[in-house]
Structure 1
Amino acid sequence: MRTRSGQRASVAALVAALALGVAGCVPPEEPEATPPPGDGGNAVEQLSQLTVASAGSMKGYSRDRFPHWRDTGKNCDVRDSILQRDGKDVKLSGCNVVGGRWESVYDGRSATDPSDVDIDHTVPLANAWRSGANEWDNAKRGDFANDTTRPQLIAVSASSNRAKGDQDPSQWKPANRSYWCQYAKDWVTVKHHWRLTVTTAEKAGLTDMLEGC
């Protein structure tokens, strides 16, 4: 039977062992809390961090100042990569996409011919130019135009892409209202990463869309 002094000694020894990490590994840090999917919380925070400024001039703008599409293999490019990523039952000739099925999240239209599908820049190149990209060099603009890491490139119907043009969310929104939340989050993610500015009207449009998340 242990004496009280023996028990105290045992407790002290255990405490010392734990302090030195002898009794086991250091507990992992708690993961950072993230907003539940679809709530738009992180996007709201990122939007608040964007600089609000008037749209810049289009002087000097050309799509050629944003070199795309970059090669991603023999006789194929970023466009093929996005078509393959976003399509179903995709058919290839080498690495070129020659068939498949695509549903445009902007308007719900379906296509089976890749020539009927456009690869949209979530933040249009001209909009990026007016919000800071005019100060970049062509190499950085090329990185932006071919960004497959952020939600900057998406396969959509040609008609919706051309209706959108270079308009921001205060001027154009997808016909598919159920996609507004995701569209706003993607727009903010891209602008936040590339440190592009937003206009007052653009920020208001994004805020309105994020409230529906």
Structure 2
Amino acid sequence: MTKFYARRRLSIVAALTGLIASAGMLNGPSASAALPTPVSASTARTYLASLTVSTESRTGYNRDLFPHWITISGTCNTRETVLKRDGTNVVTDSACAATSGSWYSPYDGATWTAASDVDIDHLVPLAEAWDSGAGSWTTARRQAFANDLTRPQLLAVTDNVNQAKGDKDPAEWMPSRTAYRCTYVRAWVQVKYYYGLSVDSAEKSALQGYLASC
């Protein structure tokens, strides 16, 4: 009898622990993985040297050709997953929507306490990817690119800053926060290298210039 009740007690404790952990994931502070760290500057310079230089063409581009945001886990889609990953003390409801927390935007150094003030930026914009090779991809590969949580391709930033960036490459736009520029170009090159995307001549020159001072 003693052994029976001991086993039963352990089973109950295990079940309660699982429930508490689940509740913590639902309503507690974010415990998601950190934003992936870009490759080093030296590696980025090596990657950049190997990228194809080509003119860009946007013929046929449509944002809907890059399906997003997809479900990542449970009720959480890609946007919600990045908000939890990049935020501090993020609390979500049963639909995985962030109800509180704070988000630091590395592009401009601003901190926000409402998820509605935060966009999830595609560091290499979807239109830029289309121009530099994604037009020939399958829809499945474009979906993987648009929802990539493994490379430093998605991050939470101030919404109007993201909108000002639009589809510009580093020859046309860079974060106003100069301390982040080295990280930004390293991430840019890493994503382009991983996906086999090309660069145009002005883009490559800008990247070389920024990486030279990293």
Bucket of the pairwise TM-score, normalised by the shorter protein: 0.7 to 0.9
In structure 1, the gaps of 5 or more residues are 1-36
- What does residue 121 of structure 1 align with? 122
Which residue type is aligned with residue 182 of structure 1? T
Q: Who is 1:158 aligned against?
A: 159
Q: Bigger radius of gyration, 1 or 2? A: 1
Q: What secondary structure sits across from 1:119 in the alignment?
A: strand
CA shift for structure 1 position 126: 0.2
Structure 1 position 75, deviation (Å): 3.0
Q: Quote how far apart the aligned CAs of 1:59 are.
A: 1.9
In 1: Cα distance, 2:146 partner to 2:73 partner = 18
Matches within 5 A, 1:1-213: 40-56=41-57, 58-94=58-94, 95-213=96-214
Q: 1:60 to 1:110 in 2, by over 3 A?
A: same
Q: Distance in 1 between matches of 2:46 and 2:59?
A: 32
Q: Structure 1 length normalisation: TM-score?
A: 0.80
The structure richer in helix per residue is 2
One-letter amino acid of the counterpart of residue 82, structure 1: V
Identity %, equivalent residues: 47
Taking a change above 3 Å as real, the CA distance of residues 169 and 139 of structure 1, as seen in their structure-2 partners, is: same
State the distance in 2 between where 1:87 and 1:75 align: 18
User: Residue by residue, what CA displacement relative to the aligned partner does 1:155-180 show, whole Å, maximum 9, x if unpaired?
Assistant: 00001100100000000000001101
| Counterpart-to-counterpart distance in 1, 2:109 and 2:194 | 28
- SS where residue 88 of structure 1 aligns? strand
- Structure 2: distance between partners of 1:143 and 1:38: 20
Q: In the alignment, which residue of structure 2 is the partner of 1:15? A: none
Deviation string 1:105-161 (CA, Å, 9 cap, x unpaired) is 000111000011000001000000000000011111001000110000000000110
Query: Please, which runs of 5 or more residues in structure 2 have no aligned partner?
Result: 1-37
TM-score (norm. length: structure 2): 0.79
Say how many residue pairs are matched: 176
Q: Give the Cα separation in 2 of the matches to 1:204 and 1:177.
A: 18
Deviation at 1:194, TM superposition (A): 0.1
The offset of 1:76, in angstroms, is 2.2
Structure 1 distance, partners of 2:149, 2:174, is: 22
